Amino acid sequence: MTLTLAEGAKLSNDVLLEGVIETAVLESPVLQRLPFIEIVGNGLTYNRENAPASAGFYAVGDEWAEDTPTFTQATATLKILGGDADIDHYLARTRSNVQDLEAAVVALKAKAVQQAFDQAFITGDVTADTDSFDGLDRLCAAGQVVSAGDDGGPLSLSLLDELVDRVRGGKPEMLLMSRRTRRTLNTLARATGSGVVEQDRDALGRMVSYYDGIPIGVCDTIADDQEVGESEDCSSVYAVQFGEGALAGLTGPGGLTVERIGSLETKDAMRIRVKWYCALALFNELKLARLVGVRPAGE
């Protein structure tokens, strides 16, 4: 069974924890939709489907050929993500009439945890940082990459359609892109007058853009200065399906937690720890695709 972070928060009676999760979810389109599988242990070894099985027609008396899907065994290890937040006793007692200092400090720490997760979700690389997990850039198979050109190129609706078509077994559940790329897409949609980009409210009541019915998520950790060939001003767009048979997050028991460490010995403050044992797993290569080399409009 998988639950998104927001759905998991509904099962908690901890008001502070609910606030932490709400802050993280509001700031991240990834955490709004990414489902998490709770696992026992420090990791998960699973079979990643590379290619589906095939079938065919046979004449009477023909010899039948056996064909099964191909898999690659992969292992995702839970990583420790989090940070400490200190609340000064003096400030808490003398300024509590202005605002809830504890809630404000912990909310800022929750936002930092969310930003760290979003960064690893895109660019995480265990070969460069063994304390992190592999993100979309590492998980995306070579055959699932669409190129805008040897040195990059402008975004086009045909490139986006090709990206969407690389995801099999239904449409992607989200297109992830930078703010610059979203602006370019909006300009393209207005220029063509096709109505391919629409606006509607999401489950949180906020206005969200949709490309051909697919929600567009703006992720600030997708860089606009990626190097492709001779160009150093490129960005990427990701098409993703979520779920146990596609892309899912992994979490330790309890998910994202808030731990009260208590009063500190060396200073007049109380410490709260926000921590999360988490990772990412791609169960099927055909559920993730990436468009690389998207350059600024007009270049």
In a domain, 59, yes or no: no
Asked whether the predicted pLDDT for residue 107 surpasses 50, the reply is: yes
Question: Mean pLDDT for the chain?
Answer: 87
Q: pLDDT tens for residues 158-203?
A: 999 999 999 998 999 999 999 999 999 999 988 887 778 888 877 6
User: Which pLDDT value is given to residue 3?
Assistant: 58
Q: Output the CA torsion sign for 218, 222, 227, 232.
A: positive
In a domain, 68, yes or no: no
What CATH number does the domain containing 146 carry? Answer: 3.30.1930.10
Say if residue 21 is in the same domain as residue 89: yes
Distance of CA 90 to the CA centre of its chain: 39
Say if residue 87 is in the same domain as residue 234: no
* 197 contact partners, CB below 8 Å, separation of at least 6: 185, 186, 189, 209, 210, 211, 216
Say if residue 249 is in the same domain as residue 237: no
Contact 189, 297 (CB under 8 A): no
User: Which residue bears the tokens 């023909």?
Assistant: 62
Q: Cα–Cα distance between 135 and 126 in angstroms, integer?
A: 9
Say if residue 118 is in the same domain as residue 165: no
Residue range(s) defining the domain that contains residue 19 = 2-50+73-134+245-282
In a domain, 62, yes or no: no
Lowest mean pLDDT among 30-44, 53-67, 218-232, 273-287: 53-67
Say if residue 6 is in the same domain as residue 147: no
User: Which pLDDT value is given to residue 19?
Assistant: 64
In a domain, 64, yes or no: no
Contact 168, 240 (CB under 8 A): no
Helix (H) or strand (E) holding 159: helix 157-166
- Which residues are bridge partners to 251 per DSSP? 38, 278
State how many domains the chain has.
2
Asked whether the predicted pLDDT for residue 11 surpasses 50, the reply is: no
